[in-house]
Chain A
Amino acid sequence: MADFDAIVVGSGCAGPAAAIELARAGKSVLVIERGTFAGAKNVSGGRLYTHALKALLPDVAGSAPLERRIVRERVSMLSTDSATTLDVTDEAMRDGRHESWSVLRARFDPWLAEQAEAAGAEYITGIAVEALLKDGDRVTGVRAGEDDITAEVVVLCDGVNSLLAQQAVGAARPRPDQVAVGVKQVVALPESVISDRAMCADGDGMAWLFVGDATHGSIGGGFLYTNRDTISVGIVATVSDVMESDTPIHRMLEDFTHHPSVAPILRGGQVVEHSGHLVAEGGYDAMPPLVGDGVLLAGESALMCVNAGYTVRGMDLALAAGQQAGRSAALALAAGDTSAAGLAGYRAALEDSFVLRDLRTLRRFPHFMESTPRVFAGYPDLARDVMRSLFLVDGTPMRRPAKEIGRIVRRTGYLNVAKDIVKGVRAL
Chain B
Amino acid sequence: MADFAYFLGCIMNNRYPGIEKASRVMFEKFGITLNDMEGASCCPAPGVFGSFDKTSWLSIAARNITIAEDMGMDIMTECNGCFGTLFETNHELAHDEAAKEKVNEILSEVGREYKGDIKVRHFAEVLYNDVGLDQIAAAVTSPLDGLNIAVHYGCHFLRPTADIGIDNAEKPTILDEIVEATGAKSVDYRDKMQCCGAGGGVRSRDLDVALDYTKDKLTNMEAAGADAIVNVCPFCHLQFDVGQTEIKKKTGDEFNIPVFHLAQFLGLAMGFNPEDLTVDVHQIAVDSALEQIQKLDEITGGE
- Decide whether A and B assemble into one complex: no
Give the interface of B toward A (CB within 8 A): none
